[in-house]
Structure 1
Amino acid sequence: MSYWYLIQAKPKQQLRAKENLENQDVECFYPTIELEKIVRGRRQMVNEPLFSNYIFIKLDDEDINWSKIRSTRGVRDFVRFGIDVAKVPEQLVQQLKFDTGIIDSNMLETNAPREGDKVIITKGAFKEFEGIYQSPSDEERSIILLNILSKTIKLEVANQDVMKVEK
């Protein structure tokens, strides 16, 4: 009978571990999710692991070579509870496959403002003021143009304090 197990990979070596396990004919599942992040001042879609450093593998309970799996490049060890190796329920893996499978970059709607979008400030001294989104300042802040007393000023605001105004 086959069961799903959870492997902990070495830091930043999840893909190496997955490839090496697949080369040994081990069925692997490495869930990822596509997120919008600010990288070097620009908003980009980035593919990141759903669970950092963890890979699900399916093994036949009768024919497991534990040391072969543990000595695979990129693999740290099996996830354990005490001395017992943790088995992952099939239902959980199927649900993760279904849930992560429906997220694709074309279906992912982002509510992040883009240059020229109307935004509203949700916190701080300028709460409820409307402005125009100009650009990201860094990974956590953005520059907003506000029209105050017939004069346009630039204001740097935390990203979580800005909300795009729906058209």
Structure 2
Amino acid sequence: MKATHNGWYVLYVKSRYERKVYDALQSLSIESFLPMVKEERKWSDRKKMVEKPLFPSYVFVNINSSLDFYKALAVNGACMYIRFGMEYAKISEQEISKIDLLMGKKYITNIEVSTMLPKIGDLMEITYGPLSGLNCKIIKVNNEHKIIVQIESLQQNITATVPSSYLFNKLTA
């Protein structure tokens, strides 16, 4: 491993171990972040709201030393740090803050995560709300404007429904 620098890294964990790994990291006093979303699940006899990770099998870990790096990796359920080539996936503090703000806002609904690249559409910039300043592409699904915000360091997309008044068309500017 190359020398770790302080910052947020992406820890890949076993399927359905996200909460267990997060709790274990907290008990080791290692700062971690696990964004959760509520989803309605339907069974034949009932409906129930359940929490699930926004990014399945990922837990974000704030590394302050090489010791923290290896202690987090030694937690039961942790598999490896996500890498792109020879570099570990590192998330900026700003991106962590924006995801955290997104999770706490009630006017943004229907949050989905996708690893597929956005379809061809209008290039927009969000000018209001917790995601202001981020670029996005627009798609239409069931007459709802869905904003796809690509978080580059994760190489994944967040799809969220937000009011169209929060958008600025970068192509017409």
TM-score, structure 1 as length reference: 0.56
What is aligned with 2:13? 9
Deviations 1:71-121 (A, max 9, x none): 211101111112221110111110110011224xxx8989xxxxxxxxxxx
The counterpart of 1:54, out of the listed 47, 53, 58, is 58
Consecutive unaligned residues in structure 1, runs of 5 or more = 111-167
What is aligned with 1:114? none
Letter in 1 for 2:52: E
What is aligned with 1:101? 104
Give the SS at the match of 2:66: coil
What is aligned with 1:84? 87
Alignment of 1:6-45 (within 5 A): 6-45=10-49
Query: What is the rounded CA distance, in whole Å, between the counterparts of 1:109 and 1:49 in structure 2?
Result: 15
Runs of 4+ in 1 over 4 A off after TM superposition: 107-110
What is aligned with 1:128? none
Q: How many residues align?
A: 105
Query: What is the rounded CA distance, in whole Å, between the counterparts of 1:25 and 1:47 in structure 2?
Result: 24
What is aligned with 2:66? 64
Query: What is the rounded CA distance, in whole Å, between the counterparts of 1:109 and 1:77 in structure 2?
Result: 31
Deviations 1:120-154 (A, max 9, x none): xxxxxxxxxxxxxxxxxxxxxxxxxxxxxxxxxxx
Query: What is the rounded CA distance, in whole Å, between the counterparts of 1:25 and 1:109 in structure 2?
Result: 32
Give the SS at the match of 1:57: strand
Give the SS at the match of 1:46: strand
- Matched residues, percent identical? 25
Query: What is the rounded CA distance, in whole Å, between the counterparts of 2:109 and 2:85 in structure 1?
Result: 42
Give the CA deviation at 1:53.
Answer: 0.8
Query: What is the rounded CA distance, in whole Å, between the counterparts of 1:40 and 1:16 in structure 2?
Result: 29
Letter in 2 for 1:29: F
What is aligned with 1:121? none
Query: What is the rounded CA distance, in whole Å, between the counterparts of 1:92 and 1:26 in structure 2?
Result: 19
